[in-house]
Amino acid sequence: MKPYPLKFRPIYKQRIWGGRKLREFFNKDIPPGEKIGESWELADLPDDKSVISNGELAGQTLDSVIQKYPKEITGDENFSGPFPLLIKFLDAEDILSVQVHPNEQTCRRLGKGVPKTECWYIISAAEGAVIYKGLKKGVSKEQFAEAIKKGGVAELLTKVSVEAGQCHFLPAGTAHSIGAGLLIAEIQTPSDTTYRVFDWNRVDDSGKARPLHIEEALESIHFGASGDNLSVTTTGRLIDCEYFKMDKDAQAKGSELLLPPGKMKTLIILTGSGTIAGAEGNTVDFNAGDCLLVPADYEGAIRFADDTQYLTVTI
């Protein structure tokens, strides 16, 4: 196999809070009439595995290709998986539930779940859009539990006004919620473990409320950490944590950027378009909304057909 940049079929997730912005911004072929809240661009979970959409490996799953060519793709001939990232686009037409994801210690203590640390890059924000990110300083487990009973959870969270171009880091154990009117790129560790503590008293189309996970959430939240201390970045190195690193870059129309071999990279195209051309003549086109996995053994160059902004994620 001669390595080349891999593209994938999106995995669409209908959500009670979802909308139609993925078509508007990225021309995603989302199902008509459905509220699509999430487009999983790169995934290797037990029930959701990305399928390659381009080149000689088209139709094969990411995990099966890595098993066949671990060194060529990851740079590590002993890599055993799963792929260490889950990358999504989120369309929050309505507010998300107040929720938390556990860390490794909590998963061991509870005997279930997969730890999840994440970040949100704000692609688009309606006027007045907010997120809830972490607890206010000094909030105790007892106070939070009482607020759940009374429906006053939001009052104990740090409410943050957001705008396009910001990146917000949310380590495991952070209570949070995404407000309405936001389009977000979510980069995270490969987990779908979510514990909801409050869902704004809403019900689905059949009149049923979504289940809550109050006991697990209270065990998962880091009550000694304040949301005031969580980072917000806008340029350059956006995230540098133990699980992944992420950089924001911009290139002008007509420019060219070399892609040297040696390190696996994931490119998330926010705006613009272009072509990645390999040393052996193979080419892969990209547009806004694409997510490309560049194998460690690949060597080539990016040629930008338009002014382009993109995120580069490495591990």
pLDDT in tens, 62-118: 999 999 999 999 999 999 889 999 999 999 999 999 999 999 999 999 999 999 999
Burial per residue of 141-164, b for 16 or more beta-carbon CB atoms within 10 angstroms, e otherwise: eeebeebbeeeebeebbbebebee
CATH assignment of 11-237, given 2.60.40.10, 3.40.50.300, 3.40.50.10880, 2.60.120.10? 2.60.120.10
Instruction: Please tell me the pTM assigned to this model.
Output: 0.96
Same CATH fold, 245-314 and 11-237? Answer: yes
Instruction: Report phi then psi at 149, rounded to 5.
Output: -65, -35
Q: What are the residue ranges spanned by the domains of the chain?
A: 11-237, 245-314
Instruction: Report phi then psi at 45, rounded to 5.
Output: -105, 160
Given the residues 9, 108, 109, 196, the one annotated as active site:
196
Residues 6+ apart with CB under 8 A from 2: 278, 280, 282
User: What CATH number belongs to 245-314?
Assistant: 2.60.120.10
Q: Tell me, yes or no, if 196 is annotated catalytic.
A: yes
**271-287 residue pLDDT tens:** 999 999 997 778 999 99
